[in-house]
Structure 1
Amino acid sequence: MHRRTLIAGALLAAMAASAPALAQDRWPDRPIKFIVPAAAGGTNDVLGRYIQEPLQKILGQPVVMEYKAGAGGAIASQYVSQQPADGYTFLLHGSGLVTVPLVQRKPSYDAVKDFVPVTLLGTSPMVLMTNPSMPDTLAQFVQQARANPGSLEWGASALGGVGQLAMEAFHEAAGIRKMVMVPYPGAGPSAQALLAGQTKYMLSTPSSVTSGFVKDGKMRILGVSTAQRSPLLPDVPSISEVVPGYDTQTWFGLVARTGTPPQVISRMADAIAKVLAQPDIQEKFRAVYVVPKGGTKALGDIIASDHTLWAKVVKDNNITMD
């Protein structure tokens, strides 16, 4: 009897040990959630919806978009960091994943420790947009701004967001001092303030809406933030042509809670790579000024380099928010 008990116990232990592996092998066997850290309609949401249907076909399960806006994306990030690490809840985020906890007095999550990269989706340059009352060229704008410290208002679409930090880095690199930041709850309101002349310039990702304003002469794009000219805006000079060394961009990608099985991450990354390779998906991404790019390592490298870059900008400019 004792021998039978030992055998039964060993079998039960083996079954328990194999259960996680079996669960991973069956993944996914139920719907998957993509948590979006903003209201519907933002670039994260648009990219997610572009890949949603073809991804569902590959995975054989529904992919559900769920929105948790607020606190610069921190609410969504904190939520995902507290969910089971089982591969059924992912965070569809961007550069704000890294920047927001760096400026919070009491961070609600750690972008490096609480999450693992799944895959990059794409990158986008930021553009320096100005009100038409400003000079026509980037060189003239920088010259005027340098000569008149404290004289211009600039818009930030989110406190602690990459737009604010990238602008502070631009000011430092260009030798522009003491300009007045005006925060707004999103890219839309900040663009409207620029149109109305309430602010004179801002850094933001390009969009079809802002391109329409530029075409109508209601605002100007003076430069792109990447070190080289962007293939998405080949006629727009790089800011680095006037401000040497300036180089930044935004990114969009998928992360999961730390502890998510590597096999699950690999399968999701491979499935998304197949989606991103489709010509119609690439065309849709470029139409919203995002260069489609995949890769787990690529996203991990960007998160690490962003963390180093923006931590220095935050420290040098003493940027904090509650």
Structure 2
Amino acid sequence: MLHRRTLLASLALTLVGTTALAQDAWPSKPIRFIVPAAAGGTNDVLGRHLQEPLSKLLGQPVIMEYKAGAGGAIASQYVATQPADGYTFLLHGSGLVTVPLVQRKPLYDAMKDFVPVSLIGTSPMVLMTHPSTPGTLKDFVDYARANPGKLEWGAAALGGVGQLAMEAFHSAAGIKSMVMVPYPGAGPAAQALLAGQTKYMLSTPSSATRGFVAEGKMRVLGVSSAKRSPLLPDVPSIGEVVPGYDTETWFGLVARTGTPQAIIARVADAVAQVVAMPDVQEKIRGVNVVPQSGTQALGDILKKDHALWGKVVKENNISMD
């Protein structure tokens, strides 16, 4: 009996040692970042800014893979079905949370199927308006409140964060019955605003919209974050006129639930080191994103977004299907 117990104890120690050795050996092959859109989007650009320095820190190549479609749900579902071994991460944004909330038959559960690894940055949306409408945030809100149903607004994607953030703005500001016009992306929505086919929209800022604003073809009246953004310090926050309004888009890394905590911690530490590099910070700000990092920071955002957008979807009966 004693011999048997000794043998079992030795076997247990061997298994523990083998497991520890396997974790210590991570990573032993390339690490994949799955991007939920085609190459060239903000997720992709941010990933490429991190790619080389992360590869050096982790000792293995970081490879970008693109799985576009269904508002990012295809990429999300793919990662949710991959082994939880620390070799496949999802480089996503706010759509990770919003898309399953607006689907009648969600392909994944953002809060159950994934764990936060690290935030990369946040970006406020901006309220952009046509020059034919009032020229200040307060005057625009007052006019919209007093004229229900008289303005058209553009949505860059049905069920996307821009649509949900606009519905939250309407509710907080007491604006009713405006006409939503959906478009297949932020570019077409911005072109419709330029042409006067719509009168306002919420979207992330870009170099193109900055040019239109400089030429007087559209206005930026406010940013969606609770406080003024360091990216646009001269633009008031919407919350200055509509108290309590606070929404932002985010970008970050998540992993499949079950991924070893030691691996998550190592990747999060590497991301924090890279995001803190001055040249990387400059590149991130260049795509209108405020550099940030942290596992807990991303976890807090996911919980906040899930509660906020779930409420907006329910109150406005929003569905993508």
Equivalent position amino acid for 1:125 in 2: P
**After superposition, where does 1:94-243 map in structure 2 within 5 Å?**
94-243=93-242
Task: Check conservation: 1:127, 1:223, Cα contact below 8 A.
Answer: yes
**Inter-partner Cα distance in structure 1 for 2:238 and 2:8:** 68
The DSSP-based 3-state class of the residue aligned with 2:127 is: strand
Shift of 1:23: 2.0
Match of 1:262 in 2: 261
Equivalent position amino acid for 2:57 in 1: I
Match of 1:317 in 2: 316
The DSSP-based 3-state class of the residue aligned with 1:132 is: coil
Normalising by structure 1, we get a TM-score of 0.95
Shift of 1:92: 0.4
The DSSP-based 3-state class of the residue aligned with 1:122 is: strand
5+ residue gaps, structure 2 = none
Shift of 1:196: 2.0
* Shift in alpha-carbon separation, 1:23–1:192, aligned structure 2, 3 A: farther
Equivalent position amino acid for 2:312 in 1: V
Q: Which moves more between the two structures, 2-11 or 139-148?
A: 2-11
The DSSP-based 3-state class of the residue aligned with 1:112 is: coil
Equivalent position amino acid for 1:216 in 2: E
The DSSP-based 3-state class of the residue aligned with 2:100 is: helix
Task: Check conservation: 1:159, 1:321, Cα contact below 8 A.
Answer: yes
Equivalent position amino acid for 1:305 in 2: K
Percent identity, aligned pairs only, is 76
**After superposition, where does 1:82-97 map in structure 2 within 5 Å?**
82-97=81-96
Match of 1:23 in 2: 22
Shift of 1:22: 2.0
Equivalent position amino acid for 2:113 in 1: D
Shift of 1:14: 4.9
Match of 2:278 in 1: 279
Match of 1:37 in 2: 36
Equivalent position amino acid for 1:285 in 2: I
Shift of 1:124: 0.9
**Inter-partner Cα distance in structure 2 for 1:108 and 1:57:** 35
5+ residue gaps, structure 1 = none
Task: Check conservation: 1:146, 1:176, Cα contact below 8 A.
Answer: yes
The DSSP-based 3-state class of the residue aligned with 1:288 is: coil
The DSSP-based 3-state class of the residue aligned with 2:128 is: strand
Task: Check conservation: 1:118, 1:266, Cα contact below 8 A.
Answer: yes
Task: Check conservation: 1:72, 1:159, Cα contact below 8 A.
Answer: no
The DSSP-based 3-state class of the residue aligned with 1:182 is: strand
Q: CA RMSD in A?
A: 1.8
Q: Which moves more between the two structures, 152-161 or 167-176?
A: 152-161
Match of 1:294 in 2: 293
Q: Which moves more between the two structures, 57-66 or 176-185?
A: 176-185
**Inter-partner Cα distance in structure 1 for 2:251 and 2:138:** 30
**Inter-partner Cα distance in structure 2 for 1:4 and 1:223:** 75
